[in-house]
Structure 1
Amino acid sequence: MTQDLEAERMLLLVDGSSYLYRAYHAMPDLRGPNGEPTGALYGITSMLRRLRQQYPPDKGYVHAACVFDAKGPTFRNALYDQYKAHRPPMPEDLAAQVEPIREVVRLMGWPLLVVPGVEADDVIATLAARASARGMRTLVSTGDKDLAQLVDAHVTLVNTMTNETLDEAGVLAKFGVPPQRIVDYLCLIGDTADNVPGVPKVGPKTAVKWLQQYGSLQGIVEHAADIGGAVGQNLRDTVEWLPRARDLITVRADCDLDGHAGDLDRDLHAAPEDQQALAPLFGRYGLKRFLHELPAQAAGAAPTAGLEAPGEADPPPQPLPPGEYETVLTLERLQHWIGLIGQAELTALDTETDSLDPMHARLVGISLAVRPGQAAYIPLAHAYPACPQQLPVSQVLELLRPWLVDPARPKLGQNSKYDRHVLQNAGIVVQGYVHDTLLQSYVLEAHKPHALDSLISRHLGRSDTLSYEQVCGKGAKAIGFDQVDLETATRYSGEDSDLCLQVHQRLWPRIEADEGLARIYALELRVSEVLQRMERVGVLIDAAALRAQSGQIGARMVELEQRAYELAGGPFNLGSPRQIGEVLFGRLQLPVQKKTSGGAASTDEEVLEKLAEDYPLPRVILDHRGLSKLRSTYTEKLPLMVDSGTGRVHTNYAQAVAVTGRLASNDPNLQNIPVRTAEGRRIREAFVAPPGWRIASSDYSQIELRIMAHLSQDEGLLRAFAAGEDIHRATAAEIFGVLPAEVSSDQRRMAKVINFGLIYGMSAFGLARNLGLERDAAQVYIGRYFARYPGVAVYMERTREQATSQGYVSTVFGRRLWLPEINSPNGPRRAAAQRAAINAPMQGTAADLIKMAMIDVEQALLREGLRARMVMQVHDELVLEVPDEELDWVREQVPALMAGVAQLSVPLVAELGTGPNWEAAH
């Protein structure tokens, strides 16, 4: 009986040292009201709270501990004086958070263990061994691969940052060896985190191969003479070191913990949170979310002013309990729900399908939520053994159609653009989407994840919802949603619509209260509808032309290969970075520019571009790479992506990806077709108009420079644009001290690089490299630029200060562009964020303008009853398909519409060209 009771009691151990650094590096540079760093504190508090929700005492986890490394050496330092010797000192901002973290851990009810002279891993191993001896199971929360050696029938690992759980089968699947061979595996590959060398040149694949072949490290050592090649010699040279490596890597399960955790029941019993003590602590460090999660009587005692750290969202109230969801299987219940949604102020609508491809996804079911906790799932196409009878799809859709197509019936979705596609596949053009939680999250927190599960966790505090993988599985064993049983499908889909509605109730008031955010959100909602229609139309592709181009590119690649062999003195694989490195830095002895993380000489594009300035072979390799990418990405792939039903390519425009507000095209990506090479430009020739139609391309002229003039209010820039001057010529005249008519083409080119380089935060070093100048000369040009345009310098400094103080910058129209690294203690990250702060308002405002233009152009086309339609949006450019008889109207009106979407301090200018294909329209 005692053994049975013990088996019901479980031990939950947290590897605090593993999470300390990971939380510090994963979180943005959050600061409390007094300027103290709080990122790691926030991250670990969040992780521990989530862990306690998932594994509470009432589910058996009555024993628990959070374990940290103590300062000072351990027995491993005596074994090997270079143990962890390469680790830099703990960053000051992290060190400042260690004591607050430990205090929060204690107050949250976690027994805290810091044992002098014993590493956290060894403490965990010892406690797990004691629990196993009592027949108890142990769950270890860690991100440390070393602890995989502890896994057995009683011990499991969980990584809360990746949601990965490792039991014995999981360890084998992840590492290729069972837990009892992890020490052998690590001895072979080494442990770089702790500076424990392994066998040189032996990586995971070789280690697994040897262990499978010889059974154990001892077996490998016994057969060392049989292993050939350089790696075999490396093994033989390392044999004497391996026993010490084993001592260093093996965690100790027999440590003396007296005075710290001598008794599981006495020392490791999870306690309730001390909420009265936590409240002032959360208040002091600005952890507003956690403060608001405390009961009102506890939180009320804490100070409330200035609690919000940069980038931290307003916290949600306590989450509602899980709802009860109905499976609709009868006409009577369907009619009941049609009555509910007909009277609801707002209905959350979600579709379940058999595909992620919006153009071909087929409805499997629909869920509806009319208030928190009240949702229904209408199954339509589930098909598994013993599946209950469902209402006919046609009947359900016809009964729902009046509500779906009624713009006066307010609807809410999460990525409603996808759901509109799905329902249009079924013959229904939905109207009345007035809210979208994906876009709400994007407008509020563009720098954070926007998937529904992330929003539920972040804003509702829920971590118990079903994931798609839990419902359908993954990999080869995955099933379609139509194979999911109705009970599970109802809970999963009901949660989607119900919690979407709850997320909306948290996010919408925050948007509504801010005029700028409300304006941007309204813009994104309208753009979503335009994009859905544009995706539906697609763009016509000349697949035969692409296939012909593919053959020509292949022939050119062969020529480049032969040229590369001549320059290298022999053949090599131009697709192999290793062989390229051997040729460039071994055979030809070219100077190494930088190294990879593994210590090899890098052959990335930046290195090859630098070498190509002085040597011919790197340029040939770069040209070959460019053609290879062009062929694999476009000339070979695009013809395969032509929809058999429409004869067109239908890209997906993702709104909630780029923090600047720009759209992202994918499947296929039509925005990154290179135009600097003749081969790249020819790709655009395959984007064609049907007979009797033309392609029209209209784009903004120098849009970001015009926005810079507006934002900076620099008199020189304002004057040049107002006069309609060539801005690059005007800049060259200012910098080089000549009349505009005397500016040479080379001077104008340099001025163009300076104009665009500076708004992207380019340094004197970067400018010198781009212009082929000495750094001092580039600095002189920058100095002259700012002397002629002082307003630009003032704007840049003001913007950096605003970004540093508030954590974001804004576009002209109110879009917030978050910069999580703007106060980072990491110098390069902070500098990159400062550069982004300068450019983001310009790029973001340009994104706002083109979105406004899309709406106005489409509305004008519909108002005039024209057949012309937009087929692509590429950065600052709109691409239309226009019947010949409507060309005159489009030529005159579209540029005017684009120029008239907003009034800035300088005129907006759009230019339009037409032709039989996209390239010819430029």
Structure 2
Amino acid sequence: MDATQDKRLFLIDAYAMIFRGYYALIRNPRLTSTGLDTSAIFGFTNSLIELIRREKPTHLAVVFDVGRASVRTDDFADYKANRSETPEAIKIAVPYIHRILEGMHIPILGVEGYEADDVIGTIACKAEKEGYTTFMVTPDKDFAQLVTDKIKIYKPGLKGGDIEILGVEEVKAKYEIEDPKQVIDYLAMMGDAVDNIPGLEGVGEKTAMKFLKEFGSIENLLANTDKLKGKLKEKVEASAERGILSKKLATIICDAPIEFHQEQYDLETPDFEKVKEVFEEIEFRRLYENLYRAFAPAVTETVVVSEVEVKQTPTGTEIKGQAMQLDLFANFEELDQATSTKSSIEHNDHLYQFVDNPKAQKKLVDNLLKQRAVCFDTETTSLNELEAELVGMSFSYKKGLAYYIPLSESREEVLQTLEIFRPFFEKEDLLKIAHNLKFDYKILKQYDITVKGAMFDTMIAHYLLNPDGRHGMDYLSEVFLNYKPVSIETIIGKKGKKQGTFRDADLRTQTDYAAEDADVTFQLYELFAPQLKKENLEDLFFNIEMPLMEVLAKMELAGISLDEKWLAQESIDLENDLRNLEKTIFELSEEEFNMNSPKQLGEILFEKMQLDPKAKKTKTGQYATSEDVLQKLASKHEIIKHILEYRTYQKLKSTYVDALPSQIDKLDNRVHTNFSQTTAATGRLASVNPNLQNIPIRTLRGQQIRGAFVSGEGKKIISADYSQIELRLIAEISGEDNMIKAFQDGEDIHASTAAKLFKIPLEEVSKTQRSQAKTVNFGIIYGQGAFALAEQTGLSRTEAKQMIEAYFETYPKLKEYMAEQVNKARQMGYVETILGRKRHLKDINSNNFVVRGHAERNAVNAPVQGSAADVVKLAMIKIDRELEEQQMKTKMLLQVHDELVFEAPADEIEAASKLIKTEMENALKTQVPLLVEIGVGNNWLEAH
């Protein structure tokens, strides 16, 4: 667009752009640290700022719908009646957007009873008479009817795509019409489902275009229906009155009661402080910089650093010179001021340099040691830390400035280089920053470098601030820095056999990629560190999560031994059992079929055997045969029991027995899982590659798999398991006296609960009664209602309801606590664990009772489950420190929620067991005793 044109008015269709921004981020919404969904605000504001920066409008206004569009609903009561409820995030967004627009001195328009379309149409037509070129900023096709030589549609690009400007010729070509005004007839003929405009019956997009070519207008069409044939003729004639009404509804009004005073629309300089206040409130950090630049006068500033010239110009940034070795430790304040965050490395001021000789590297280390905080990153040949080779390291301690250290293929030479950097990694009072620090920690550990002192993992920091979000560096960079980092796949290729390694890249490419990673991560640190403090999460971060990261790194490197011979035999046994079960199932069904085909199984069960006349089908038209469905049919026929058993054995074989041997590392013949601190929103750890937390324990056959996890020669496996930790903690948190006393007296809590529920002596509680009480005890934590309890216990819904009522009479403070948690969540938007971990619940005030109910259950459960996770993490940190201080050889190997698994030399079994039990039971000072059960064996099954 020619920026030299005078009198260019941009009219923004507010809600169209707000909805567009909201849905663009619907899969990965932007949430503040308090859980506020700012997707719509960000999308709209970012588009607005980009429009101002790009187009430099002379005049601008934003137009909102105000109240009901009575001018149309008076004619047609069902106008827009089928529109769904506006998402709550958008309702919340509008007041913020109004504040931002007010701060930017941009007029907000709207006329009661008229739609934004009418206001835009009226202003555009009046502005045209005053000589303005008007751009209607909207994706709405209805506006095409207004297009003239001086009025155009401006459609912002989707997902970074190009903008589209529709003038007269573009509209004529798009709709195959002679005049843009015919768009009204086009809409009248085909109708509009979005606005509930009925249109002519039987007329769609193609037919409407055909009619316009032949008849030119809806009136002319209706006057010549004799030229139509068959059913279409009947339908058009029958809906003629509806068609004329549709034209009236589709016509944008150009004489709404609003004046066009030119000076009102002048684009003025914003009140930056006022806008900044709103941006800080909703945690828009980089957007403020973009706003400032959009209005900043054109400047040219050149900063020379060493031999690299960085030039800031009105049209972008020029960087001259090459990455160099260095004399780099002059004053970089000017570089800081010259830098600007743009879209990618090509458009972002930066100074990235490689340092490849020992003398310069020592000089770099001397400079790093003077800093308070430094970000580092490692580049390797693989993501498997046990086999990966170091290719390079990068460092950054200031935005836009980073150094890359390329490393030799020779391990001996790498070790020599690392010795130069050892003082940096081991300096206790220097904060080391990284993203996914555990990976870098483990890589360096393989080269005999232990990272010491305070550490800051930006991935974990963001997880604490927003547990439900995504935490990848590239994603965080795009969201928080408005910057798209170089993708690793552009360097080494896409995943697959042909994918290369980082070592294959040239030095320039390596430098740019690695230095960028360190630079971006340092910038994320600068954003997240103060936010952790603001949210009172520093203690949790520095005293729990970061020390735990080191513990987990050690556990992952240690691994655990597998008995491959046992697994091979178990695979044979399971295969035999599967064949026998298959034979039995075929006999019972009197037909052979593919057991792994849900379609064939469904036909056998519900068509041939008629086990459920009301059997449900999936979206694909097949019968549903999930485990839940089959469990409900278990009493109908014995075949169901065998099918469920078949599926259980098949999963055991494929997922564990046959798969685990392939996970054994060739270097030490042990399995090395990875523990994630940033997966479960509750604070629990997750285990991947392989997932060792999901080893089945419900069935005897599933439990047997733990027998494959064995101790090394001369060692034993120790299993330490918290007993009913969640129940103990909910008693502690709620202050429920009856439950606290039962635990303090060492009673069986389920039997004790049953005795109170059924009002009988403790010794008279039956197994069934204890089982029912156990279901209620754990069900209450997860917000279980009468329906779910009835299904699990076999009670009627009335009996289940009565049991829940009796439960709360027995434990009244528990009921009070649950209500308090829900109320707190409604007021604060989050709940907290015993150590201050926050779980944001953005749906707690939702109008949708199903969505709200889920959030309410989380309000009760998250603090309990999260507190249990906190206690286990505390215990792990304390045990690790004690084992190290006492110089014991016992190693922590696994964490499976409430259980910790160790490997200990025979001569340490007694001492290690005592140490583990003591530290776990005293991890946190509570009035409810935390009980830990210890087991010892040659394998995990024996120990457990």
Q: Which category of TM-score, normalised to the shorter sequence, fits these structures?
A: 0.7 to 0.9
Q: Distance in 1 between matches of 2:429 and 2:529?
A: 19
Letter in 1 for 2:365: I
Choose the corresponding residue for 1:467, options 487, 490, 504.
Answer: 487
In structure 2, the residue matched to 1:628 is: 650
Is 1:337 matched up with 2:364?
A: yes
Letter in 1 for 2:795: L
Is 1:892 matched up with 2:888?
A: no
Alpha-carbon offset, residue 781 of structure 1: 0.9
For structure 1, the residue ranges without an aligned partner over 5 or more in a row are: 6-10, 74-81, 156-190, 196-238, 241-254, 261-266, 299-316, 384-389
Letter in 2 for 1:419: D
Deviations 1:21-47 (A, max 9, x none): 6369658899999xxx984xx322312
User: Alignment partner of 1:919: what SS?
Assistant: helix
Letter in 2 for 1:782: I
Q: Distance in 1 between matches of 2:268 and 2:614?
A: 57
8 Å CA contact 1:735, 1:781 repeated in 2: yes
Range with bigger deviation, 838-847 or 862-871? 862-871
User: Alignment partner of 2:283: what SS?
Assistant: helix
Quickly say closer, same or farther: Cα 1:120–1:900, change in 2 above 3 A. same
Choose the corresponding residue for 1:289, options 256, 268, 283.
Answer: 283
- What is the TM-score when the length of structure 2 is the normalising length? 0.72
Quickly say closer, same or farther: Cα 1:618–1:277, change in 2 above 3 A. farther
In structure 1, the residue matched to 2:334 is: none
Choose the corresponding residue for 1:141, options 158, 163, 176.
Answer: 158
8 Å CA contact 1:438, 1:451 repeated in 2: yes
Range with bigger deviation, 352-361 or 110-119? 110-119
Choose the corresponding residue for 2:401, options 374, 377, 384.
Answer: 374
User: Alignment partner of 2:369: what SS?
Assistant: helix
Q: Distance in 2 between matches of 1:593 and 1:514?
A: 51
Quickly say closer, same or farther: Cα 1:511–1:289, change in 2 above 3 A. closer
8 Å CA contact 1:404, 1:431 repeated in 2: yes
| 1:111-510 pair list within 5 angstroms | 115=117, 123=141, 140-141=157-158, 275-276=270-271, 279=274, 288-290=282-284, 294=288, 321=341, 322-380=349-407, 393-459=414-480, 461-475=481-495, 479-510=500-531
8 Å CA contact 1:354, 1:362 repeated in 2: yes
Alpha-carbon offset, residue 374 of structure 1: 2.5
8 Å CA contact 1:352, 1:363 repeated in 2: yes
Compute the RMSD of aligned alpha carbons. Answer: 5.3
Alpha-carbon offset, residue 794 of structure 1: 0.8
Q: Distance in 1 between matches of 2:732 and 2:679?
A: 26
Q: Distance in 2 between matches of 1:468 and 1:804?
A: 42
Deviations 1:419-454 (A, max 9, x none): 011112333233235222222222232222222233
Q: Distance in 1 between matches of 2:424 and 2:730?
A: 47
Letter in 2 for 1:915: G
8 Å CA contact 2:719, 2:899 repeated in 1: yes
Letter in 2 for 1:441: H
User: Alignment partner of 2:750: what SS?
Assistant: helix
Is 1:44 matched up with 2:60?
A: no
- What is the TM-score when the length of structure 1 is the normalising length? 0.74
Alpha-carbon offset, residue 278 of structure 1: 11
Choose the corresponding residue for 1:840, options 862, 869, 873.
Answer: 862
Quickly say closer, same or farther: Cα 1:93–1:433, change in 2 above 3 A. closer
8 Å CA contact 2:12, 2:63 repeated in 1: no
- Matched residues, number: 792
In structure 2, the residue matched to 1:211 is: none
Larger radius of gyration between Structure 1 and Structure 2:
2
Alpha-carbon offset, residue 97 of structure 1: 6.3
Quickly say closer, same or farther: Cα 1:368–1:728, change in 2 above 3 A. same
In structure 2, the residue matched to 1:610 is: 632
Q: Distance in 2 between matches of 1:192 and 1:24?
A: 24
In structure 2, the residue matched to 1:668 is: 690
Alpha-carbon offset, residue 881 of structure 1: 0.7
8 Å CA contact 1:67, 1:124 repeated in 2: no
In structure 2, the residue matched to 1:248 is: none
Alpha-carbon offset, residue 348 of structure 1: 1.0
Quickly say closer, same or farther: Cα 1:777–1:407, change in 2 above 3 A. same
Is 1:805 matched up with 2:827?
A: yes
8 Å CA contact 2:32, 2:283 repeated in 1: no
Q: Distance in 2 between matches of 1:478 and 1:127?
A: 52
Quickly say closer, same or farther: Cα 1:463–1:111, change in 2 above 3 A. farther
Alpha-carbon offset, residue 363 of structure 1: 1.4
In structure 2, the residue matched to 1:22 is: 23
In structure 1, the residue matched to 2:547 is: 526
Q: Distance in 1 between matches of 2:646 and 2:582?
A: 7
Q: Distance in 2 between matches of 1:906 and 1:374?
A: 52
Alpha-carbon offset, residue 826 of structure 1: 2.3
Choose the corresponding residue for 1:859, options 873, 878, 881.
Answer: 881
Q: Distance in 1 between matches of 2:660 and 2:266?
A: 60
In structure 1, the residue matched to 2:576 is: 555
Q: Distance in 2 between matches of 1:539 and 1:32?
A: 38
Is 1:787 matched up with 2:809?
A: yes
Alpha-carbon offset, residue 659 of structure 1: 1.5
Q: Distance in 2 between matches of 1:747 and 1:837?
A: 29
In structure 2, the residue matched to 1:164 is: none
Deviations 1:217-238 (A, max 9, x none): xxxxxxxxxxxxxxxxxxxxxx
8 Å CA contact 2:13, 2:62 repeated in 1: yes
Alpha-carbon offset, residue 784 of structure 1: 1.0
Choose the corresponding residue for 1:739, options 761, 771, 786.
Answer: 761
Range with bigger deviation, 349-358 or 428-437? 428-437
Range with bigger deviation, 54-63 or 702-711? 54-63
8 Å CA contact 2:46, 2:287 repeated in 1: no
Quickly say closer, same or farther: Cα 1:761–1:276, change in 2 above 3 A. same
8 Å CA contact 1:365, 1:378 repeated in 2: yes
Q: Distance in 2 between matches of 1:619 and 1:17?
A: 53
Alpha-carbon offset, residue 892 of structure 1: 2.6
8 Å CA contact 1:279, 1:294 repeated in 2: no
Q: Distance in 2 between matches of 1:520 and 1:920?
A: 36
Alpha-carbon offset, residue 536 of structure 1: 0.6
Q: Distance in 1 between matches of 2:465 and 2:33?
A: 21
Identity %: 34
In structure 1, the residue matched to 2:731 is: 709
User: Alignment partner of 1:735: what SS?
Assistant: helix
8 Å CA contact 1:17, 1:67 repeated in 2: no
In structure 1, the residue matched to 2:188 is: none
User: Alignment partner of 2:690: what SS?
Assistant: coil
Range with bigger deviation, 555-564 or 509-518? 509-518
8 Å CA contact 1:275, 1:294 repeated in 2: no
Quickly say closer, same or farther: Cα 1:836–1:462, change in 2 above 3 A. same
Letter in 2 for 1:429: T
For structure 2, the residue ranges without an aligned partner over 5 or more in a row are: 6-10, 71-77, 110-114, 122-136, 172-191, 197-231, 234-249, 256-261, 293-336, 342-348
Quickly say closer, same or farther: Cα 1:297–1:59, change in 2 above 3 A. closer
User: Alignment partner of 1:675: what SS?
Assistant: coil
